[in-house]
Amino acid sequence: MQRNAQTHYPILLVHGLLGFDVIGSISLFHDVRQALRNAGARVFVPQLSATHSNEARGAQLLAQIERVRERTGADKVNLFGHSQGALAARYAAAIAPTAVASVTSVSGPNQGSEVADVLRKALTPGRLPEQVAEKVAILFANFLSLMGAERGMQQNAIAALNALTTEGVATFNDKYPQGLPEIRGGEGREKVNGVGYYSWSGVLQNNLPDGGLNTLDPVHACLCALSRFFVTEIGQNDGLVGRFSSHLGKVIRSDYPLDHLATLRQPGIAARHGIDPIDLYVQHAERLKNAGL
């Protein structure tokens, strides 16, 4: 059966920290973009700094929203932000609500990341560990640029880390509260200033570190290890972001059996649970289409 996800407004897929559009033959959003296009959507992937603050990446996103609007003739765009991309999308919608039809947060740290808190405490400001960590992160970001990802974009690893801590996101939220729940774990307003707000995310399954098809996935194993640093959302996180920290606007679901990066790809464990992470994007585009967005 042919799917119809032909939204009224174009869709922009916004990557998060250390994300990219294309490196060589690898595209971060390849499967998502292709699935959406196959279902009739107009899809674009903006280029943002791999490492920088939420506001800096949001300003970059705003500039590229304007290019998409000029190219397509559309008045507005739908923003799908993965991880830190959700914060850039929120910034853009708060600054220019007339240019944004909707913001969808996918595994977004909308109340901050407890892993970022741990890293921030471990890296003493101004001392060698922080300088080394920043250098490594910038070298990696520059490597992504050399490989063809986000060429020429400025990088600032420490600004990115600070922007993702609970304190950093709280400061960001004070300025741009649109769509946030009033109570942690609740839902926010679905529409603010004419912009629709939605979110979904996943939770690591308790049995994954001990077995399952994802056990041999080194990225998944790393996320399982990072999940042990959570204090507030123990057992209720995707390895980088807490379940309730991800809530924004209308919550589609926040406990899919998916780790932080699995919301971009099809892992074995998701197939076992009957979850297709890629199809979640198509389903949501259909939802936006039915809402006239």
Q: Which segments of the chain does DSSP mark as H helices, in order? A: 30-38, 54-72, 84-95, 114-122, 128-146, 157-164, 166-175, 218-226, 268-272, 277-290
Active-site residue, from 52, 220, 247, 260: 260
Within the chain, how many helices (H) and strands (E) appear? 10, 9
Cα–Cα distance list, 65 to 12, 57, 192 (Å): 8, 12, 19
260: annotated active-site residue: yes
Active-site residue, from 238, 246, 247, 259: 238
Nearest to 283 by CA among 36, 15, 90: 36
Cα–Cα distance list, 102 to 135, 196, 270 (Å): 36, 4, 27
CA distance 287 to 293: 9
238: annotated active-site residue: yes
Residue recorded with tokens 């998944």? 220
Active-site residue, from 53, 83, 102, 107: 83
Please identify every residue annotated as catalytic. Answer: 83, 238, 260
